[in-house]
């Protein structure tokens, strides 16, 4: 497939967005439903199809939920306070946020949306916020909302070369969003530049008494004290070689700007994600459907699974993850709470230990790790090189609550990445 992406540094217009949607969405399968973008708005925003937006159906990509009508999610209510934002459509996603079957399910696939495609070419598009990432990379919008349970913002950010931000869990309410796991779910933003990323995020923030993990953004500063980043490198995947070759210009510019960089081997750590998410979805989905479902939708997780059983021909890759969750022995609420706390603490302690040992501000990666999905801290993808396809990105993470600091860093590093690409192009011309 040809490169259908739209350069992030080029401005979008409402007419340009409409034209690209009309001509390219049929190939990329990014946007489920949309209306004409408004010309007088500064930020044209698309919303992942598991987040409630009044006037649009919300399906999570599932035929069983295709007619579900939801009111504005709490985060959408917050965003409507910004008169510059135009909500003009919903994006496809990996079905049920990836909780239908095993890893054999292609990223970006849903029964309702088909196969999402990376606009940079024949590469994986990532999931489950795949449609949102594709839409941003393809120039269909300035920004898009997504959600992450375990990588569903970071991975599509990586794969499609866009800025993607997962806030500290609890800063952005989950009320009005089709759940996967109340222990780990977190809404976030994908955008074409750090400025839009920050603006959309700040308007999403708000304490919601209905969310069981409310967390208030108390820190007002956006700077960071030291310029030290620890990169955790997976040598088995050749990441050190990539740092020394394809990312050498970027690292050189970092050092020129006063950053100190340390490299360590990526620690191996395993969390009880499958057990926790399987237990969560049974109760979380049932509570959600009982509150928001109608006579046309299932009213419990058990009924949802039964709807899938009624149409086995429609599920190209099976439904074993749903079946496994249904068959799993029940975990008592106290035992589940303890298990979640243990896993959250394991992730946070790992991050704290690395940052403390190296006296660093941030930790960086060349691929997704689930430490911040589990621990609840902020993480962000930063595109750093567009010389290769798909673009090369890095992931940055911080301690819980330091959201503004990481957004400040991403803004600074994005300018450094631009400078590095300029230097690299000049060097290539000289050769």
pLDDT value for 427 = 57
Whether 173 is in a domain gets the answer yes
Report how many domains make up the chain.
Answer: 1
Whether 403 is in a domain gets the answer yes
Distances from the Cα of 320 to the Cα of 283, 315, 380, angstroms: 18, 11, 31
Q: Is the pTM of this model over 0.75?
A: yes
Whether 177 is in a domain gets the answer yes
pLDDT value for 430 = 46
Whether 3 is in a domain gets the answer no
Whether 259 is in a domain gets the answer yes
Residue 273 domain boundaries: 14-430
pLDDT mean values, one per 10 residues, the chain (431 residues): 93 97 98 97 98 97 96 98 97 96 84 96 95 98 98 97 97 97 98 98 94 73 77 95 93 95 97 97 97 93 96 89 94 97 98 96 96 98 90 96 95 95 64 50
Whether 240 is in a domain gets the answer yes
Cβ atoms of residues 233 and 369 within 8 Å: no
Whether 4 is in a domain gets the answer no
**Tens-place pLDDT, residues 82-111:** 999 999 999 999 999 999 998 677 889 999
143: domain CATH number? 3.90.1300.10
Whether 7 is in a domain gets the answer no
């Amino acid at each position: 497939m040809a490169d259908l992406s739209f350069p992030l540094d080029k401005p979008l217009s409402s007419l340009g967005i409409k034209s690209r949607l009309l001509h390219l969405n049929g190939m990329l399968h990014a946007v489920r439903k949309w209306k004409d973008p408004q010309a007088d708005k500064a930020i044209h925003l698309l919303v992942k199809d598991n987040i409630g937006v009044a006037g649009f159906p919300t399906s999570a990509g599932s035929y069983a939920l295709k007619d579900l009508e939801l009111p504005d999610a709490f985060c959408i209510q917050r965003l409507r306070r910004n008169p510059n934002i135009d909500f003009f459509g919903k994006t496809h996603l990996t079905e049920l946020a990836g909780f239908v079957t095993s890893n054999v399910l292609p990223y970006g696939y849903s029964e309702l949306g088909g196969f999402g495609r990376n606009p940079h070419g024949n590469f994986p598009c990532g999931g489950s916020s795949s449609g949102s990432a594709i839409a941003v990379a393809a120039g269909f919008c300035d920004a898009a909302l997504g959600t992450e349970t375990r990588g569903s913002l970071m991975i599509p950010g990586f794969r499609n070369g866009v800025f993607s931000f997962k806030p500290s869990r609890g800063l952005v309410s989950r009320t009005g969003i089709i759940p996967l796991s109340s222990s780990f779910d977190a809404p976030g933003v994908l955008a074409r530049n750090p400025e839009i990323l920050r603006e959309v995020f700040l308007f999403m923030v708000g304490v919601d008494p209905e969310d069981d993990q409310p967390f208030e953004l108390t820190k007002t500063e956006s700077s960071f004290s030291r310029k030290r980043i620890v990169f955790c490198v997976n040598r088995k995947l050749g990441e050190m070689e990539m740092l020394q070759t394809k990312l050498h210009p970027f690292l050189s510019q970092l050092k020129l700007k006063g950053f100190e960089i340390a490299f360590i081997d990526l620690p191996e750590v395993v969390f009880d994600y499958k057990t926790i998410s399987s237990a969560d979805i049974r109760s979380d989905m049932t509570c959600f459907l009982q509150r928001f479902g109608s006579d046309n939708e299932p009213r419990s997780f058990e009924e949802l699974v039964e709807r899938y059983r009624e149409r086995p021909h429609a599920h190209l890759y099976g439904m074993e993850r749903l079946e496994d969750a249904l068959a799993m022995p029940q975990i008592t609420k106290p035992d589940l709470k303890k298990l979640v706390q243990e896993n959250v603490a394991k992730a946070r302690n790992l991050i704290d230990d690395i940052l403390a040992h190296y006296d660093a501000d941030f930790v960086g990666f060349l691929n997704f790790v689930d430490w911040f999905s589990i621990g609840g801290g902020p993480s962000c993808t930063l595109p750093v090189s567009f010389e290769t396809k798909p673009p090369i990105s890095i992931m940055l993470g911080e301690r819980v609550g330091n959201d503004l600091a990481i957004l400040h860093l991403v803004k600074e590093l994005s300018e450094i990445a631009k400078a590095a690409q300029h230097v690299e192009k000049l060097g290539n011309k000289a050769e």
